[in-house]
């Protein structure tokens, strides 16, 4: 009996050894194929030049973080691909400097550019020059729709305006006078947002838009306009702001009392968070700026490495920020690379 | 015997280590088969573009067929009389067939429609699960009958559960393997190769329990032959099947074990998705790579702790008994679940790993002790009915586990929606959403653990009772053997 058991144990050992060997052969077979592949094909390096509007602006630092993290994870995931981000952003907004960078990229032979256009007309020519010379170009945040770029990633400004109006209507129970703070009259994206607001306001018969107020895009100018309008319309119920200029300093506190006039504004940057906390503004429409870099890099790789078909316009999803999700949004901003977020918000 | 006396396992009741190991190999195969489809199904969506709802349907339908095939297989195995035993022939043939089917069902050809893939995979899945049942049900039953000893059963289940963990360690790597462009051009090709490797492994390793274990009840029961015509035989078998099924599901001690398992296991399964979401979106503020790191760390700590817990639980239960050990282990898990409330802190993310070892103790104890306790119930059942029905008990128990798991996966999506979670908002969920996600994450496993403790607290088969049952059964068997020996008709 014992002898029979020993024989069987030996058979088990032999079978196990045989199976392990078979597995090893199978695995080493795969390994050979890989080594052969590595030997005959070099690891492909794709350099993507990233040109944001301004390297001083935290929204673009966050976009850069998204691009770098995505490049790193793609390089880690694919053994035959290396993605490198070449960050070439002017210190301050300058369309001509951006155009110059694009021309240099063509000379350097980089394969792709992702760019947020400071000026549509100036950049359209430069983008077309790059594309004509074999460089793939994608825009994010701010588009050059008439250029030969293969895709744009950014918000639908018309939809954003509609959302802004719906949020404000909810806050004032669908009735009362409201004003629109419009920023730069010449900016196409801001115009689209204003259009979205006015279109949607038509759905609320008891809401009256007293006017759309344009101004140079600084805090001081925005506050001056607001002050004037509030004096003109003391019964004003709400402000629809297509940008966040009014929150870039401390002056807003001198113009309105918290909660007396409801405000919904675009963007939810760290400097604006205290205004949410103190109820000066009830809803901010935040843009996931990290994804400007993340989605753009993924899309470029899908296009030039995987030869996938890409949609011409890829829409960014807006996140409403209120006192309810101030903590979550603050932690999300930190994860996206924003600095100087007060700890009390991170703990909320 | 005094109630505090601890029985020592007699040498004749000890299962040789080689047999424990061989049985444990079955556990690796069983867990691998149970988890592989789930871990590989992502290829159906990502690689072949099948709608996620259809992929969900593909996973749900076999659960329905299991409800029928599992108890039938249990009944067939319990009532099989062959010179190789009641379990081993099915384990042997089942392992080969399930390995073959698994390898074939993933050989999905390219360039066909979504519905072609749906039907191809559905038919393949149904055949696969049929053969999986053919292997797993007798294998589970075999574990309940390899020894009559109260403590040796726990040791066997400890070895089985310990070895089975290696499948769970391997499974999360499947996607990375299939997606690895060093080996494969795409994930579909990766799935084809991986399925062949798994199929070969299952066929070769799965037959080991059949070859190297010994059944205790071969030829000991009196043979029941149905000499009637086929239809009458079928009718009689169907009647016997339902009678057996009813007796099984009415067995109160068995139901307590089912309840204990259901609430502990599914409590954890139900919130499995929540823990990932809370780690990524709450603790790590939506930073997916940081979240993945901590989830990986949590998984590693859980695995190591589970292995240690299985060894500890096996040893402790031989000192204080299975019921007390289960209650203590589940209480530790309850404590671990509550710890999550304090340790899931965005300001100190690494603390997410602290509850892991506490929760692992409960999970490690669960399938070590439950298998052993079901074997004790099988003895009680034999004492009262005169039949050994490990197959029936095992199949209903595991079907209940699988069904519970399917319900848990289905419900977790609804629960997540119920908390107000919006996927597009990433880490910017509202405070109330995070609050309710955390309440569910902590509350469901904690409440599940308490219900399980309540269910098992009144489990009547103590160590002393178990040895009394065994003694009575052995007397009865010896009597039956001697009667058979003197009877001229046999």
Strands (E), B100-163: none
Mean pLDDT along residues A131-148 = 94
Query: Contact B286/A335, CB-based, under 8 Å?
Result: yes
Q: How many CB atoms lie within 10 A of CB A233?
A: 16
Number of domains in chain A: 2
Least confident of A142-151, A265-274, B213-222, B272-281: B213-222
Domain-embedded: residue A233: yes
Residue A21 has pLDDT above 50, yes or no: no
pLDDT at B5: 61
Residues of chain B with Cβ-Cβ distance to A286 below 8 Å are 428
How many angstroms separate the most distant Cα atoms in chain B?
A: 82
Q: What is the mean pLDDT of residues A243-258?
A: 89
pLDDT at residue A216 in the model: 83
Which residues of chain A make contact with B432, given a CB cutoff of 8 A?
324
Report the first-to-last Cα separation within chain A, whole angstroms: 71
Q: Which domain holds residue A133?
A: 44-154+289-316
User: Quick one: tokens of A215?
Assistant: 């101004």
Task: Tell me if A23 is assigned to some domain.
Answer: no
Best interface-test mutation with A: which of B195, B294, B422, B428 has the largest number of A CBs within 10 A? B428
The verdict on A48 and A134 lying in the same domain is yes
Of residues B344, B324, B369, B362, the one with CA closest to residue B441: B344
Minimal CA–CA distance to B442: which of B329, B358, B327, B361? B358
> Which 8-state DSSP code applies to residue B84?
T
Class of domain B16-222: mainly alpha
Q: Hey, which residues does B281 pair with through a beta bridge?
A: none
- Kindly state whether residue A37 falls inside one of the protein's structural domains: no
Candidates B426, B432, B434, B435: best to mutate against A (most CBs of A within 10 A) is B426
Q: Is the domain of A49 the same as that of A144?
A: yes
pLDDT at residue B485, as a whole number: 41
Q: Which residues of A touch B434 (CB under 8 A)?
A: 327-328
The answer to whether residue A187 is domain-embedded is yes
Same domain, A203 and A330: yes
Considering the domain architecture, whether residues A237 and A223 belong to the same structural domain is answered as yes
Could you tell me if A91 and A207 lie in one domain?
no
CA atoms of A240 and B43, how far apart (whole Å): 46
What is the distance in angstroms between the Cα of B431 and the nearest Cα belonging to chain A? 6
Give the relative orientation of helices B52-78 and B114-145 as an angle to the nearest 10 degrees. Answer: 30
CATH number of the domain within which A99 lies: 3.40.50.2300
Q: What pLDDT is stored for residue B218 in this prediction? A: 64
- Tens digits of residue pLDDT in A176-210: 999 999 988 877 788 999 999 999 999 999 999 99
Distance from CA of B229 to the nearest CA of A (A): 42
ipTM computed for the complex: 0.75
Averaged pLDDT, A214-234: 92
Secondary element (H or E) of residue A214? strand A207-214
- What tokens appear for B163 in the block? 């070895």
Rounded Cα distance, B208 and B213, in Å: 8
Give the nearest chain A residue to B209 (CA atoms): A12
**Which of B208, B424, B426 lies at the smallest CB-CB distance from A12?**
B208
CB contact under 8 Å between B424 and A78, yes or no, is no
CA–CA separation, B45 and B79 (whole Å): 42
Residue A104 lies in a domain: yes
Report the C-alpha gap between B218 and B382 in whole angstroms: 15
All structural domains of chain B with their residue ranges:
16-222, 230-482
Chain-chain contact of B430 with A324 (C-beta, under 8 angstroms): yes
List the single residue in A12, A317, A332 with the smallest CB-CB distance to B212: A12
Rounded distance between C-alpha atoms, residue A10 and residue A17, angstroms: 10
Q: What does residue B176 show for φ and ψ, rounded to 5 degrees? A: -60, -40
pTM score of the predicted model: 0.80
- What is the nearest CA distance from A158 to chain B, expressed in angstroms? 19
CB contacts of A69 in chain B (<8 Å) are 289
CB–CB contact A329 B179 (8 Å)? no
Do A64 and A117 lie in a common domain?
yes
Asked if A103 reaches chain B (Cβ–Cβ under 8 Å), the answer is no
Contact A286 B428 (CB under 8 A): yes
* Mutation to test the B interface, candidates A298, A316, A327, A337, most B Cβ within 10 Å: A327
Tell me the CATH number of domain B230-482, given options 1.20.1250.20, 3.40.640.10, 1.10.1060.10, 1.10.10.10. Answer: 1.20.1250.20
Tell me: pLDDT of A57 over 60. Answer: yes
Q: Are strands A283-286 and A319-321 parallel, antiparallel or unpaired?
A: antiparallel
Q: Along chain B (490 residues), what's the average pLDDT of each consecutive run of 10 residues? A: 65 91 96 88 83 80 80 90 91 97 92 90 93 95 93 95 92 85 85 96 97 77 51 73 80 94 90 85 89 88 93 93 96 96 93 95 93 94 90 89 79 85 89 94 95 95 91 80 41
Q: Does A23 touch chain B (CB under 8 A)?
A: yes
Kindly identify which residue of chain A lies nearest to residue B344, measuring between CA atoms: A347
Least confident of A100-109, A330-339, B268-277: B268-277
Q: What is the structure's pLDDT at B376?
A: 95
How confident is the model at residue B479, as a pLDDT?
A: 63
Q: State yes or no: pLDDT of A14 exceeds 80.
A: no
């Amino acid at each position: 009996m014992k002898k029979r058991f020993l024989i069987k144990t030996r058979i088990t050992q032999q079978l196990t050894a045989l199976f392990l060997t078979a597995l090893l052969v199978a695995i080493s077979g795969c390994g050979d194929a890989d080594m052969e592949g590595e030997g005959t094909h070099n690891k492909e390096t794709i350099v993507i030049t990233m040109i944001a509007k301004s390297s001083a602006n935290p929204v673009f630092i966050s976009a850069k973080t998204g691009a770098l993290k995505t490049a790193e994870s793609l390089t880690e995931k694919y053994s035959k691909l290396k993605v490198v981000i070449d960050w070439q952003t002017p210190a301050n907004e300058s369309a001509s400097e951006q155009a110059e960078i694009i021309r240099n990229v063509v000379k350097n032979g980089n394969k792709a550019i992702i760019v947020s256009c400071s000026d549509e007309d100036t950049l359209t020519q430069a983008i077309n020059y790059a594309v004509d010379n074999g460089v793939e170009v994608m825009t994010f945040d701010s588009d050059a729709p008439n250029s030969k770029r293969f895709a744009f990633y950014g918000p639908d400004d018309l939809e954003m305006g509609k959302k802004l109006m719906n949020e404000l209507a909810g806050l004032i129970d669908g009735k009362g006078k409201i004003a629109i703070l419009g920023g730069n009259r010449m900016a196409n994206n801001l115009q689209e947002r204003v259009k979205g607001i006015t279109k949607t306001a038509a759905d609320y018969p008891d809401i009256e838009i007293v006017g759309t107020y344009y101004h140079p895009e600084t805090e001081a100018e925005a506050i001056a306009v607001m002050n004037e309008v509030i004096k003109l319309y003391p019964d004003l119920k709400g402000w629809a702001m297509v940008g966040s200029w009014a929150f870039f300093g401390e002056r807003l506190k001198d113009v309105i009392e918290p909660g007396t006039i409801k405000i919904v504004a675009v963007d939810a940057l760290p400097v604006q968070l205290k205004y949410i906390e103190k109820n000066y503004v009830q809803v901010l429409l935040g843009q996931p700026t990290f994804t400007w870099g993340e989605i753009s890099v993924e899309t470029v790789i899908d296009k030039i490495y995987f030869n996938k078909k890409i949609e011409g316009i890829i829409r960014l999803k807006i996140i409403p920020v209120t006192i309810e999700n101030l903590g979550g949004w603050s932690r999300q901003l930190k994860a996206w690379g924003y600095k100087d977020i007060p700890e009390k918000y991170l703990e909320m | 015997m005094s109630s505090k006396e601890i029985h020592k396992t007699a040498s004749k009741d000890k299962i040789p280590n080689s047999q424990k190991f061989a049985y444990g190999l079955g556990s690796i195969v069983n867990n691998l088969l149970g988890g592989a489809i789930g871990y590989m199904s992502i290829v159906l969506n990502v690689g072949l573009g099948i709608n996620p709802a259809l992929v969900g349907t593909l996973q749900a339908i076999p659960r329905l067929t299991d409800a029928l095939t599992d108890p039938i297989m249990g009944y067939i195995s319990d009532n099989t009389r062959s010179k190789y035993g009641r379990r081993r022939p099915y384990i042997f043939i089942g392992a080969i067939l399930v390995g073959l089917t698994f390898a074939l069902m993933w050989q999905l050809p390219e360039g066909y429609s979504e519905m072609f893939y749906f039907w191809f995979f559905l038919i393949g899945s149904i055949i696969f699960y049929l053969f999986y049942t053919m292997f797993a049900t007798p294998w589970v039953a075999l574990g309940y009958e390899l020894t009559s000893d109260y403590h040796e059963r726990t040791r066997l289940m400890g070895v089985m559960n310990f070895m089975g963990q290696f499948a769970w360690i391997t499974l999360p790597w499947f996607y990375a393997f299939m997606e690895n462009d060093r080996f494969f051009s795409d994930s579909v090709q990766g799935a084809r190769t991986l399925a062949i490797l798994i199929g070969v492994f299952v066929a070769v390793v799965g037959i080991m329990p059949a070859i190297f274990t010994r059944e205790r009840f071969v030829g000991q029961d009196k043979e029941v032959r149905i000499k009637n015509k086929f239809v009458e035989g079928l009718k009689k078998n169907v009647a016997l099947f339902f009678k057996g099924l009813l007796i099984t599901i009415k067995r109160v001690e068995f139901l307590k074990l089912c309840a204990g398992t259901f609430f502990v296991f599914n409590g954890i399964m139900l919130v499995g998705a929540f823990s990932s979401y809370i780690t990524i979106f709450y603790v790590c503020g939506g930073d997916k790579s940081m979240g993945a790191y901590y989830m990986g760390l949590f998984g590693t700590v859980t695995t190591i702790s589970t292995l240690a817990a299985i060894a500890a639980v096996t040893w402790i239960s031989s000192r204080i008994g299975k019921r007390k050990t289960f209650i203590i282990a589940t209480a530790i898990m309850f404590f671990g679940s509550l710890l999550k409330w304090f340790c899931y802190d965005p300001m100190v993310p690494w603390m997410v790993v602290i509850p892991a070892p506490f929760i692992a103790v409960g999970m490690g104890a669960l399938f070590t002790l439950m298998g052993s306790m079901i074997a004790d119930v099988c003895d009680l059942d034999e004492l009262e009915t005169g039949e050994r029905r490990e197959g029936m008990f095992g199949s209903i128990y595991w079907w209940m586990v699988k069904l519970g798991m399917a319900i848990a996966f289905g419900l977790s999506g609804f629960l997540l929606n119920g908390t107000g979670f919006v996927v597009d908002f990433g880490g910017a969920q509202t405070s109330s959403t995070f609050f309710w996600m955390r309440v569910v994450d902590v509350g469901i496993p904690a409440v599940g653990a308490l219900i399980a403790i309540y269910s098992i607290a009144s489990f009547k088969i103590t160590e002393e009772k178990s040895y009394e049952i065994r003694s009575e059964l052995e007397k009865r068997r010896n009597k039956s053997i001697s009667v058979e020996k003197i009877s001229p008709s046999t």
